[in-house]
Chains A and B, each alone.
Chain A
Amino acid sequence: MIDWRRWAGPGVVILAAAAGLAMLEVSGQAFWQGLAINLAIFSILTVSLNLTSGFTGVFSLGQIGFMALGAYMSAILTLPLPEKAAYLPNLPSWLAGVHLDQRIGDVPVGFLVATVIAAVVVSGIAWLVGRVLMRLSGHFVAVATLGFLVIVRVVLFNADDFTRGSRTFSNVTPYTNLWWSWAWVLLVVYVVWRIKRSPYGRDMFVQRDDRSAAQAVGIRVMEPRLLAFVVGAFFSAVAGSLYAHFITSFSPTVFYFDLTFRVITMLVIGGMGSVSGSMLGAILIVGLTEALRRVEDATLLYGLSQIILAVIFIVVITVRREGLLGQREVPLDRLFMRRERAPATAPPEPPPPT
């Protein structure tokens, strides 16, 4: 038996968002459509980083490395054969014949398959890396994952046969549109939300808040961390694939520290541990970046937007370290429930049964 009141809140929001996207699609405003896709990609990145780092306290700086791998893998898979022969002549034979550019009707099924394949392979890599790195804590894990980012970059620069090295990887088909990108946002929000409310999610938060106490009552530390790391990597790779098929040409330099820091800013401002906060942070920072970019163009003070973002970041982390929402959520699922069961903010998570 489905509890309709529980689903009414999210349902209304999803329908409203779909109506908004449809209007945006019809309006034909290319600038706002691009901004909406950009926002979707950053939302996916922020929510998945929140799962990896905010939920578990294991701060990963390697997320953009997974995004880069996802972008390159899916782009190689979807590249049509003539382009593939021209741009990547040295691909090994088992890959040279693959061209996931099929459509069924209007739907680019090949793109979906390529994205999922890339995300699954990246998850496998994340599992291997995570098995080793999740043993570390605090800033040591941050630096080790930063090392992973550097290693991915070196690999991308040197694997000429696959990535064209430092040259631009271009001619990717622009499959990413409003519907693809926001459908993935919906999925990542749903999955991460469910994880947060699951026993695994509670384990993540508990071992974050007090590892010794968690271990003492028999809560596992490695498994929840690894789950968060792998699922986060999966969706980061998806974001990479969407990004690759959105801007259609890119090089390894894109996927480096600037992007990492921007996603971290969104996460910290929204609140580590809150899915709603990540969405809020992404909206605020994407909007602010766009506005500041116009100021930069008008005043020619390039660099100003980054400075302002960094200052905001320092102020938030100094004055309100938990971010705007902390660990709280906007309780959409209680929107249409009776009032006494719908407090303005969700109560703190009860301690897990021991």
Chain B
Amino acid sequence: MIDYTIQQIINALSAGSLYALMAVGLAMVFGILRLINFAHGDLMMIAAYIAVFSLGAGLSVAAALPLIVLGTVIVGLLMERVAYRPIRGAPDVAMLLTSFAVGQILQNGTLLVTRLAGKPTLIAFPSPDILNGVVNIGTLTIPKVNIASFFAGVILLGLLSLFVTRTTLGLSMRAAAEDLPAARLMGIKVDRVVATAFAIGAGLAAVAGFLYAVQAGQINPYMGFTPVLKAFIAAVIGGFGSIAGAVLGGYVLGFLEVLVTALAGIGDLLPAGSVPPEVKSFLQQWLPSGLASWRDAVVFVVLILVLLVRPQGILGRRSREDEL
């Protein structure tokens, strides 16, 4: 039972790291522009495709990784320059819808390119050996990719926190998120700050996309949709627009999902006699093993509850603007 719990905690930390890496990108852009960038998930997808092509060309992970990050950052910057800059300051919903259109372009563009390259829509991901297999620690068996996800999350988010607290550009970014007009009056170059936010977000999404693809084992042009929804939920739970909130929300969401999956069928897992039979039948009735397939629904119910009860999230500050 202890082993099972520790195993699940590790799963939660690994999933949470990926969500946090994604959510941070969303939150940085939202903080400055009030844009919910749904095409952010498609940056993950782009990263996975660059990975397939570069690993397929025989590059090692160490050589491919900079290429993946660089390629994704370029796509992220292009997206900002071509699609989002012209509508900066438009109503929230117009920007949101534009990001859906950008996502459609990236997805179908990828589809088009893979078709032209003679590849199928669904591609098996050539996971590098270094991330395949498991590590045995005592009685625990942990997939290597989960360990890599956890450390990637901690290290990159640590670097990000140094960046936003210790560098001028990082401070300007926080200033712009705080109050855009005032920041502009203070001489902060908003275009540069926005581009930086997109670039950092894309870089983090690239790493997350690579690890996500290793975990999933296969990729397709639409793979970014569910992760970006999850990342969005994470950002809302933590407090939208706040970087720390996005990180916190990512881990909360990771634990929440693992909790739903782990509690599903818990009644059947408990050894006979360890709990009174009434408790066991209660658990079997209310937490059936089929609950796991309802995980996404449960997560969204939580999202809606957060929006209603505490729309500013765990760390956010209250704004009257978004309520009735």
Which residues of A line the B interface, CB within 8 A?
Answer: 57, 59, 132-140, 142-144, 146-148, 150-151, 154-155, 157-158, 211, 221-222, 257, 261, 264, 268, 300-304, 306-307, 309-311, 313-314, 317-318, 321
Q: Is B111 an interface residue (CB 8 A)?
A: yes
- Chain B binding surface SS class: helix
Complex alpha-carbon distance, A221 and B108, angstroms: 40
Within 8 A of A (CB), among B73-120: 83, 86-87, 90-94, 96-98, 100-102, 104-105, 107-109, 111-112, 115-116
Set of chain B residues within 8 Å of A309, measured between Cβ atoms: 104
Query: How long is the Cα–Cα vector from A314 to B116 in the complex, in angstroms?
Result: 25
B162 in contact (CB, < 8 A): no
Is the Cβ of A307 less than 8 Å from the Cβ of B112?
Answer: yes
B92 CB contact (under 8 Å) in A139, A148, A317 = A139
Q: Give complex CA distance A140, B307 in Å.
A: 7
Q: Is B199 an interface residue (CB 8 A)?
A: no
16 contacts between A and B (CB under 8 A): A136-B323, A136-B324, A144-B304, A147-B301, A150-B297, A261-B104, A264-B100, A304-B112, A306-B108, A307-B108, A307-B112, A310-B102, A310-B104, A313-B97, A317-B98, A318-B98
- Could you tell me if B300 and A151 are in contact, using CB atoms closer than 8 angstroms? yes
Q: Are A133 and B87 in contact (CB under 8 A)?
A: no
Most buried by B among A140, A154, A211, A321: A140
A142–B94 Cα distance when bound, in Å, is: 11
Known: A268-B97, A317-B90. 20 other contacts (CB 8 A): A59-B96, A134-B324, A136-B307, A138-B321, A139-B96, A140-B322, A142-B96, A147-B301, A147-B303, A150-B296, A150-B300, A301-B116, A303-B107, A303-B115, A306-B108, A307-B105, A313-B98, A314-B98, A321-B91, A321-B94
Q: Within the assembled complex, what's the spacing in Å between the Cα atoms of A211 and B300?
A: 28
A144 to B236, CA, bound (A): 11
In the complex, are the beta carbons of B324 and A138 less than 8 A apart? Answer: no
A311 and B105 form a contact (CB under 8 A): yes
In the complex, chain A residues whose CB is within 8 Å of the CB of B109: 303, 307
Candidates A134, A143, A211, A303; contact of B111 at CB < 8 Å: A303
Smallest Cβ distance from B102 to chain A, in angstroms?
7
Judging by beta carbons under 8 Å apart, are B301 and A307 in contact? no
Nearest chain A CB to B293's CB is how many angstroms away?
Answer: 6
Classify chain B's interface size.
35 or more
Write out the residue numbers on chain A whose beta carbons fall within 8 Å of the beta carbon of B229. Answer: 146, 150
List of B residues within 8 angstroms of A133 by Cβ: 304
> Are A143's CB and B100's CB within 8 A?
no
Partner pick for B108 among A136, A155, A304, A321, CB 8 A cutoff = A304
Given contacts A139-B36, A142-B93, whether A303 and B100 have CB atoms under 8 Å apart is: no
Partner pick for A303 among B87, B92, B108, CB 8 A cutoff: B108
Considering the chains assembled together, what is the distance between the CA atoms of A9 and B94 in angstroms?
A: 34
In the assembled complex, the CB of B307 is this many whole angstroms from the nearest CB of chain A, namely: 5
Complex contact A154–B296 (CB within 8 A):
yes
Q: Are B324 and A302 in contact (CB under 8 A)?
A: no
A138's contact among B93, B102, B105, by CB below 8 Å, is which?
Answer: B93
Instruction: Give, as a whole number of angstroms, the nearest-CB distance from B203 to chain A.
Output: 24
Q: Would A314 and B83 count as touching, CB distance under 8 A?
A: yes
Q: In the bound complex, how far is the Cα of B116 from the Cα of A95, in angstroms? A: 49
Once the chains bind, are A135 and B304 in contact (CB under 8 Å)?
no
A300 to B101, CA, bound (A): 22
